[in-house]
Each structure stands twice: as structure tokens, then as C-alpha cells.
Amino acid sequence: MSSGTAIPYVPPSAPFNVQQRAWLNGYLAGRWSFAAPGGDATGVTASAVATKSLLILFGSQTGTAEGLAKKLAKQSSQKGFTPRTAEANACTVAELAAAERLLFITSTWGEGDPPDNATQLWAALNAADAPKLTGLSFSVLALGDKNYSDFCGAGKKFDERLEQLGAKRIHPRVDCDLDYEAAATAWGEAALAKCGEVTGEKTANLQPRDAAPSGATVTDQPVTLPHSRTNPFPARLLVNRILTGEGSAKETRHFEISLQGADLNYEAGDALGMFPTNCPALVSDLVAALGCDGEEAVKAPDGSETSLRHALLRHYQVTQPPSSLLAAIGERAQSAELKTLLAPENKAALEKHLHGREIIDFLLAHPMARFTPEEFIALLRKLSPRLYSIASSPKAHPGEVHLCVGIVRYETHGRARKGVCSSFLADRVEQETPLPVFVQASHGFKLPVITDTPVIMVGPGTGIAPFRAFLEERQISAARGRNWLFFGDQKRATDFLYRDELETMFKNGVLTKLDLAFSRDQAEKIYVQHRMAEHAKELWTWLEEGAHFYVCGDAKRMAKDVDAALYEVVQLGGGRTPEQAKEYVQQLKSAKRYQRDVY
Ligand SMILES: Cc1cc2nc3c(=O)[nH]c(=O)nc-3n(C[C@H](O)[C@H](O)[C@H](O)COP(=O)(O)OP(=O)(O)OC[C@H]3O[C@@H](n4cnc5c(N)ncnc54)[C@H](O)[C@@H]3O)c2cc1C
Ligand SMILES: Cc1cc2nc3c(=O)[nH]c(=O)nc-3n(C[C@H](O)[C@H](O)[C@H](O)COP(=O)(O)O)c2cc1C
């Protein structure tokens, strides 16, 4: 990543054709400049430096951090700041060095990694030639999930690195779990107050050309969605159809949900968020294990009064146990085993012990641990919504949203387990059951704006979901760009999801190429990454012709293997060295031609 260039540009070596390079250079020049009196050589108009300029950067995979950054920008402009909001990768370290105040909001993905749209800034901050950031005052808000071992890992890393480079932390980092709203609001207010105390302005500041004087931000879109995560729309389920055939080891379902009456907009590439209801049978078991009848009064997370049963059904996470609850059970039951497992040095042993065990197992195994309903509820986490990649184009299915969901069912320690949301959808939603949903816009996973651009999609299993949406979108908008899909699963006979639709699309030419990998149809395992390697030459040609490359599905194994296969394609197909392949893939990412929706 270039660190000294005021306006990012696409170098001649970058993997674009002439038309794309010209378009991108124009786009980038239009997006960024350093404001200097009279403008600069690019003709970008510079505006006078406003007082209290504020840079708000976000690293966000599924839009949560981005949403918070936009909200913060609005609040900050009401407090007299001139905010500039951008994804982290859109900012160079030179721009950071020139900035005065930085509020940085980032989620964590993979295994403690920054989201895709923050990886380049992270790499640049760690480069040997990273500049000192002594003039920068900053604070970090980290988003994460305590179920992951490296909780808020990316936020912690950025926070530490900014300080190492000499930036001044003006407000301590706040690490948020999935119920982040209250902590994020408190952080925003306190961090803005601290930013207000930072005096002195530099002459050069990151200045997007299209920034409005009111403080509108680079990525600000008009707020058009009255229904949101905090105000979900009660949708109706229209269709619940099994996609996998008899004898499959999996249960994958297609759902169609009506958004009639909602003013919810979405685009192919977005995700649908959903608040599930817990399994009533499991809740009854928990109530019984607590020695209650379920009618006891407790507090819901918003402070209102409700019954214990209702709270467990609707408001709290009742499967995976939080460590505070385990500690309380260990304490009350005087369990030496639990206490040992919870010691910081036994993290790995605890993880192993937790695998396949839920709260109910610990309550039943430790009947000596007694809780009042209020005490028990206070030790639980808020039930968090689940996200699903939308499998439909809104143009093809107005007023509807389609999903492709793998239903989680397994048996451990003698008990049948069910994934909270997937089993809710599969088993417990009737047509009249309101389904609280919201749209989670994904700015980092979108079809190319230029519709002639070819696309390569790798989406095994439920990873097919957004590509069904992409293909419908390309078909209905008569896009001329070619489409290549890599799909895979266990067996062709039972797991070829959307087989009829895909074969029809292949026949009628919407799908230019369809490559399939069924891992269990032969002795040796064949996965999508193997199909990619077999087609290295042709994939390379598509990439050279400007194709965008998309991956969706399993983050733990598949996405890593496909990533490795992409480097292989560049080396084998393009005759590049490993170093050159690294550079090439990096450029694909910078140009947003390598996009991922992995979970
Ligand atoms: C951006 C995004 C897009 C997504 N898109 C899709 C999509 O299109 N389709 C889709 O199906 N999912 C998708 N997901 C995943 C989805 O959000 C849920 O995580 C998934 O449906 C499981 O949720 P659940 O509530 O049913 O299961 P949960 O109640 O959350 O249970 C899942 C947990 O159960 C445990 N578990 C599962 N199997 C076993 C086992 N065999 N042994 C022991 N423990 C086990 C694991 O701890 C696992 O984390 C997406 C996720 C994200 C973040
Ligand atoms: C596949 C996946 C991996 C994740 N890895 C981590 C992790 O390692 N540590 C963590 O604290 N949170 C992790 N999270 C939780 C996200 O950081 C959290 O949901 C965050 O609110 C998402 O914000 P975003 O929408 O801005 O990306 C992970 C979530 C997913 C779906």
C-alpha cells in the first residue's frame, strides 16, 4: 500500500484493463484528496480547513461497525466537528499521520483478524516504514463476540499499534460483546467529549471532495430504513422447503419471507438479520432445573417486567454458557472441576469441555448450584440476532427475501441439540408467527457497478445463497457480463442445492460456466478449490479481463483453502512468482475485486 500518495491511484501493473483502470482512477481521485488552499494538481477542489476535523474509520464485515461509524458522524457534526467517515482501507498511513483526531471502530473476524476492509491499513501500520503518528489523538471501539477465543482481537491490535506509533489515546478502548448498543453509545459520547478537548488544527486534512459542509460523510447514504436492528420488522414466512434430498447427511432449507408492509430495501449481497425464539422444550427443561414454574417475574434486558419463561424464550441466550454463569455454578456447587477449568491457564481445556455442552448440562450436572430467577437471568447474555446472506434479487422477487439455511442439529452427551435460529425457522415458525427481521447492508459484497464485468463466484453449501441473488440480478437486469459459478457439497444426488435453477441458468446462458465439486462421490475428496486449480489458466484469463472474484460460505476451512487456491491460480495460470501472486491478490482486494462473505 502506498503511504505517501495523497490520492490513491491504480498503478499500471494492477490487474485491470484500460477502461477499468481509467474508471477506478477517476473514482479514487474523486473520493480523496488532501485539502490545500487552491486545490491540487488533480483539479480536486480543496475546501478551507474546518475547525475540529474528525476522522472516523471503520473496519466492518457485515455492516455493524459501519452503521455505528455513520451514527457517530452524525452525532459529531451536531457537536461542531467536521467528520470524515471511511472504511479503514480507504485511508493511508500518511493520511493518518496528517489527521488530528481519529475515532476507530472495528469488528473482529476469522480468528482475531481485522475485517477485509481494514486489512490493508493494518498491514501498512505494521510496515517497517510506517510513519510516526505523534500528532494523532485517538480512541478505539472494538466489536466482537465473547464466544470467540480472541475476543475483540482486531480492535485490541489496532489500539496497541496506534499507541506504539506515537498516537495519543485520549479515551480508553471499549470492547463490546454482541449486545454492543449501550457500550457503543457511551464510548461515542465520552470519546467525542475527549476529541473536543484536543486543540490545534493541521493544515492538511483528509478531505473527500463530495463531503457536504453539514458534516455528511463519504459513505453516508440517506437513511431510508425505518426498520432496523433496533426496530425489526415483523415479517411472515411464506415458504419453508427442504433442498437436500433423502439420505443427505445435511438438512438445508430454502425459505421465502414476505416483507410486504415493510419499508425495507435490500440489494443482492446484503444479509437478513433475524431475532429467533428459543426452543420451548429446552426452556421448560431450564425452568424445571431451576426449580421454578416459569411464571416468576424477572426483568427483560430493556428493564421491563416479564415472566421467567418469556424472558428465556425471547430475550436471553440459553444454549452456550457465558463464563460468568459457569463461575457462579462452580462457586455455588463448590465444583473443583469447574473452578480449575475456568482458570486462565486452562483455556484450551475449557474450550474442549464446552464443546457439545450447553447451560442445561451444567445445571443438571450441578444441582447444588441454586439460583433465584433474577440471579439466573442476570448471568445470561442477550439473545443475539443471526445473519443470513440473502438468496434473492429484490428485482426478481419484489417484497420478498429468500434464504438458504443449513439447519443445525446434532447430538452430544445424550441430548439432541438444535441451532437456535435455524431450528426456529425450520420447525417453529408458522405462517402467522411474526418473524422479527432487519436488513444488514453489506457494502463490501456487491456486484460490479459496470454490468459487463465478468464475475467468478465460489459458493459451496449454503455459500450459494448470495450467488443465487447475484445470478437473478444479472438475469433480470440483462447484464452482459459473464458468470462463472463454483459450487460444491457432499453428494450430487442429495446435496446439489438449487440444481434445477442452476441448470436452467446454465442452459439459457445466464451462467456461462458451472463447475461442481461433490466431495463424497468418489474415493478422494474433491472440493471447489481443486476445481479452481484445474481451471487455473482460464480463471487467470477471466481475472485479466477484469473479473470480480467472490467467495461465500464456511470461514474456518473453505475460505482459507479457496484463498490459497487463488494464489495458486495466479502462479500457475499467470506464470507469476509467489511474491508477484501475493501482490496481484492484494491488488484485487484493494480494487474490491476480491470480496468475501464468510462465516
Ligand atoms: C454474514 C453472515 C451470513 C450468513 N449466511 C448464512 C447463510 O446464508 N446460510 C446459513 O445457513 N448460515 C448463514 N450464516 C450463519 C448463521 O448466521 C448462523 O450462525 C447459523 O444458522 C447457526 O445459527 P443457529 O442459531 O441455528 O445455531 P446456534 O444456536 O448459534 O448454534 C451454532 C453452534 O452450535 C455448535 N455446534 C454446531 N454443530 C455442532 C456439533 N456437531 N457439535 C458440537 N457443537 C456444534 C457450535 O458451537 C456452533 O457455533 C451467516 C452468518 C453470517 C455472519
Ligand atoms: C465468522 C466470524 C468470525 C468472528 N470472529 C471473531 C473473533 O475472532 N473475535 C471476536 O471477538 N468476534 C468475532 N466475530 C464477531 C464479530 O466481530 C461481531 O459479530 C461484530 O459485531 C461484527 O461487526 P461487523 O458487522 O461490523 O463486521 C466473528 C463473527 C463471525 C461471523
Higher pLDDT, 55 or 263: 55
Which tens digit of pLDDT belongs to each residue from 368-397? 999 999 999 999 999 999 999 999 999 999
The answer, as to whether pTM is greater than 0.85, is: no
Is 411 touching ligand 1 by the criterion CB < 6 Å? no
pLDDT at 188 over 70: yes
Ligand 2 center to 144 CA (angstroms) = 5
Which tens digit of pLDDT belongs to each residue from 156-186? 999 999 999 999 999 999 999 988 989 999 9
Ligand 1 center to 419 CA (angstroms) = 7
pLDDT of residue 110: 81
Is 61 touching ligand 2 by the criterion CB < 6 Å? yes
Strands of the 548-553 sheet, one edge to the other: 513-518, 483-489, 455-458, 548-553, 594-598
pLDDT of residue 15: 55
Is 406 touching ligand 1 by the criterion CB < 6 Å? yes
Ligand 2 center to 109 CA (angstroms) = 5
Q: Whose C-alpha lies nearest to ligand 1, atom 34?
A: 419
Percent of the chain with pLDDT over 70: 87
pLDDT at 213 over 80: no
Instruction: Compute the mean pLDDT over every residue in the chain, rounded to the nearest whole number.
Output: 89
Under the banding of pLDDT at 50, 70 and 90, the label for residue 201 is: low
Q: What is the mean pLDDT of residues 549-564?
A: 97
pLDDT of residue 14: 53
DSSP states of 244-310: SPTT-S--EEEEEEE-TT------TT-EEEE-----HHHHHHHHHHTT--S--EEE-TTS-EEEHHH
Pair 152, 143: CB distance under 8 Å:
yes
Under DSSP, is residue 109 helix (H, G, I), strand (E, B) or coil? strand
Is 83 touching ligand 2 by the criterion CB < 6 Å? no
Ligand 2 center to 372 CA (angstroms) = 33
Ligand 1 center to 249 CA (angstroms) = 16
**Which atom of ligand 1 is closest in space to residue 390's alpha carbon?**
8
169 phi-psi bin (left φ>0, alpha ψ -120 to 50, beta other) = beta
140's enclosing H/E stretch is: strand 137-143
State the CB neighbour count (10 A cutoff) for residue 459: 27
Ligand 1 center to 65 CA (angstroms) = 21
Under the banding of pLDDT at 50, 70 and 90, the label for residue 220 is: very low
Ligand 2 center to 108 CA (angstroms) = 5
**Which atom of ligand 1 is closest in space to residue 462's alpha carbon?**
9
Ligand nearest to the CA of 318: 1
Which tens digit of pLDDT belongs to each residue from 137-155? 999 999 999 878 899 999 9
pLDDT at 221 over 50: no
pLDDT of residue 42: 32
pLDDT of residue 372: 98
Is 196 touching ligand 2 by the criterion CB < 6 Å? no
* Nine cell digits for residue 61: 464485515
Higher pLDDT, 10 or 404: 404
Q: What is the mean pLDDT of residues 29-53?
A: 41
Angle at the Cα of 466 (from 25 to 118), degrees rounded to 5?
45
pLDDT at 50 over 70: no
pLDDT at 202 over 80: no
Is 555 touching ligand 2 by the criterion CB < 6 Å? yes
Under the banding of pLDDT at 50, 70 and 90, the label for residue 251 is: very high
Please give the DSSP secondary-structure letter assigned to residue 403. E
Please give the DSSP secondary-structure letter assigned to residue 345. G
Ligand nearest to the CA of 405: 1
Is 410 touching ligand 1 by the criterion CB < 6 Å? yes
The closest of 307, 469, 446, 283 to 373, measured between CA atoms, is: 307
Ligand nearest to the CA of 597: 1
Is 113 touching ligand 2 by the criterion CB < 6 Å? no
Angle at the Cα of 283 (from 280 to 289), degrees rounded to 5?
145
Is 271 touching ligand 1 by the criterion CB < 6 Å? yes
The closest of 97, 212, 224, 106 to 155, measured between CA atoms, is: 106
pLDDT of residue 16: 53
pLDDT at 422 over 60: yes
Pair 42, 27: CB distance under 8 Å:
no
340's enclosing H/E stretch is: helix 336-341
Pair 132, 124: CB distance under 8 Å:
no
Pair 538, 521: CB distance under 8 Å:
no
Q: Whose C-alpha lies nearest to ligand 2, atom 18?
A: 144
Ligand 2 center to 159 CA (angstroms) = 17
Encode 39-77: b = buried (16+ Cβ within 10 Å), e = exposed: ebebebebeebbebbbbbbbbbbbbbbbbbbbbbbbbbb
Largest CA distance in the chain: 75
Pocket test for ligand 2, best of 108, 157, 174, 552 (most atoms within 8 A of CB): 108
DSSP states of 550-576: EEEE-TTTHHHHHHHHHHHHHHHHH--
Pair 136, 168: CB distance under 8 Å:
yes
Q: What is the mean pLDDT of residues 72-78?
A: 95
Is 384 touching ligand 2 by the criterion CB < 6 Å? no
Is 115 touching ligand 2 by the criterion CB < 6 Å? yes
Pocket test for ligand 2, best of 117, 143, 386 (most atoms within 8 A of CB): 143
Strand partners of residue 39: none
Q: Whose C-alpha lies nearest to ligand 1, atom 19?
A: 386
pLDDT of residue 200: 66
Is 553 touching ligand 2 by the criterion CB < 6 Å? no
DSSP states of 176-208: E-S--HHHHHHHHHHHHHHHHH-----S--B--
Q: What is the mean pLDDT of residues 397-419?
A: 97
Q: What is the mean pLDDT of residues 24-52?
A: 40
- Dihedrals φ, ψ of 431, to 5°? -60, -30
The C-alpha atoms of residue 595 and residue 599 are separated, in whole angstroms, by 13
pLDDT at 269 over 80: yes
Ligand 1 center to 264 CA (angstroms) = 24
**Which atom of ligand 2 is closest in space to residue 175's alpha carbon?**
11
Under the banding of pLDDT at 50, 70 and 90, the label for residue 51 is: low
Quick one: CA dihedral 455, 460, 463, 467, positive or negative? positive
Higher pLDDT, 31 or 102: 102
Is 285 touching ligand 2 by the criterion CB < 6 Å? no
pLDDT at 13 over 90: no
Higher pLDDT, 78 or 29: 78
**Which atom of ligand 1 is closest in space to residue 403's alpha carbon?**
8
**Which atom of ligand 2 is closest in space to residue 440's alpha carbon?**
25
For cell 439460583, name the residue: 371
For 112-116, 330-334, 522-526, which range has the lowest pLDDT when averaged over its residues? 112-116
Q: What is the mean pLDDT of residues 229-235?
A: 91
Is 511 touching ligand 1 by the criterion CB < 6 Å? no
pLDDT of residue 217: 37
Is 419 touching ligand 1 by the criterion CB < 6 Å? yes
Q: What is the mean pLDDT of residues 14-37?
A: 43
Angle at the Cα of 208 (from 202 to 212), degrees rounded to 5?
100
Q: Whose C-alpha lies nearest to ligand 2, atom 31?
A: 599
Which tens digit of pLDDT belongs to each residue from 279-336? 999 999 999 999 999 999 999 988 999 999 999 999 999 999 999 999 999 999 999 9
pLDDT of residue 2: 37
DSSP states of 462-494: GGGHHHHHHHHHHHHTT--S-EEEEEEES-HHH
State the CB neighbour count (10 A cutoff) for residue 113: 17
Ligand nearest to the CA of 60: 2
The C-alpha atoms of residue 42 and residue 128 are separated, in whole angstroms, by 29
